[in-house]
Amino acid sequence: MPLILLLALVCGVAVGNVYFPQSVSPSIATGLDIAPEAAAQVVTATQFGYTAGIVLLVPLGDRVPYRRLIVSLLMLTALGLLAAAGAPGLEALLVAGLLVGLTTVVAQIIGPMVAGLVDEDRRGMVGGTLLAGSVGGMLLSRTLGGALAEWLGWRAPYLMAAALVVIVALLLLRALPATAPLSAQRYASLLVEPLRLLGSEPELRRSCLYQSAVFAGFSAVWTGVALLLTGPLYDLDATAVGMLALVNAATMVCTPIAGRHVDRHGPDAVNLICLIGVIASAPVLAIGGLGGTLGLAGLVLGSLLLDIAMQSGMVANQVRIYGIHPKARSRLNTAYMACMYVGGSMGSWLGIRAYGQAGWPGVCVLVALVTALALGGMAVPRTTRSRLPAE
In Å, what is the CA distance from 4 to each residue of 116, 176, 269, 324? 13, 10, 25, 22
The verdict on residue 97 lying in a domain is yes
The verdict on residue 113 lying in a domain is yes
283-322 pLDDT, tens per residue?
A: 999 999 999 999 999 999 999 999 899 989 999 999 999 8
Say if residue 169 is in the same domain as residue 197.
no
Give the other-Cβ count within 10 Å of 188's Cβ. 8
CB neighbour list of residue 361: distance below 8 Å, 6 or more residues apart = 286, 289
The verdict on residue 137 lying in a domain is yes
The verdict on residue 188 lying in a domain is no
100-137 pLDDT, tens per residue?
A: 999 999 999 999 898 888 887 788 888 889 988 888 88
Say if residue 206 is in the same domain as residue 177.
no
Say if residue 212 is in the same domain as residue 151.
no
228-257 pLDDT, tens per residue?
A: 887 888 887 656 666 776 777 777 888 888
pLDDT of residue 385: 52
> Which CATH number fits the domain that encloses residue 169?
1.20.1250.20
The verdict on residue 295 lying in a domain is yes
Say if residue 101 is in the same domain as residue 213.
no
Say if residue 163 is in the same domain as residue 285.
no
Say if residue 283 is in the same domain as residue 261.
yes
Q: How confident is the model at residue 346 (pLDDT cuts 50, 70, 90)?
A: confident
Q: What per-residue string of b and e applies to 337-372 under the rule 16 or more CB within 10 Å gives b? A: bbbbbebbebbbebbeebbeeebbebbbebbbbbbe
33-89 pLDDT, tens per residue?
A: 888 778 878 888 888 899 899 999 999 998 999 999 999 999 999 999 999 999 999
Where is the domain boundary, 121, 152, 182?
182
pLDDT of residue 54: 92
Where is the domain boundary, 182, 217, 236?
182
pLDDT of residue 25: 82
pLDDT of residue 238: 58
Instruction: Give the angle subtended at the CA of 331 by the CAs of 187 and 12, to the nearest 5°.
Output: 110
pLDDT of residue 386: 53
Give how many domains the chain has, as a whole number: 2
The verdict on residue 390 lying in a domain is no
Share above pLDDT 90 across residues of the chain, in percent, rounded to a whole number: 47
Say if residue 199 is in the same domain as residue 177.
no
Say if residue 172 is in the same domain as residue 209.
no
Say if residue 159 is in the same domain as residue 240.
no
Say if residue 130 is in the same domain as residue 215.
no
Say if residue 215 is in the same domain as residue 96.
no
Find out whether 284 and 302 touch, Cβ atoms under 8 Å: yes
- In this predicted structure, the answer to whether residue 19 has a pLDDT above a threshold of 90 is no
In Å, what is the CA distance from 321 to each residue of 7, 268, 372, 390? 20, 12, 22, 16
The verdict on residue 385 lying in a domain is no
Where is the domain boundary, 147, 182, 217?
182
- In this predicted structure, the answer to whether residue 171 has a pLDDT above a threshold of 80 is yes
- DSSP strands (E only) in the chain: none
The verdict on residue 388 lying in a domain is no
Say if residue 338 is in the same domain as residue 226.
yes
The boundaries of the domain holding residue 320 are: 193-377
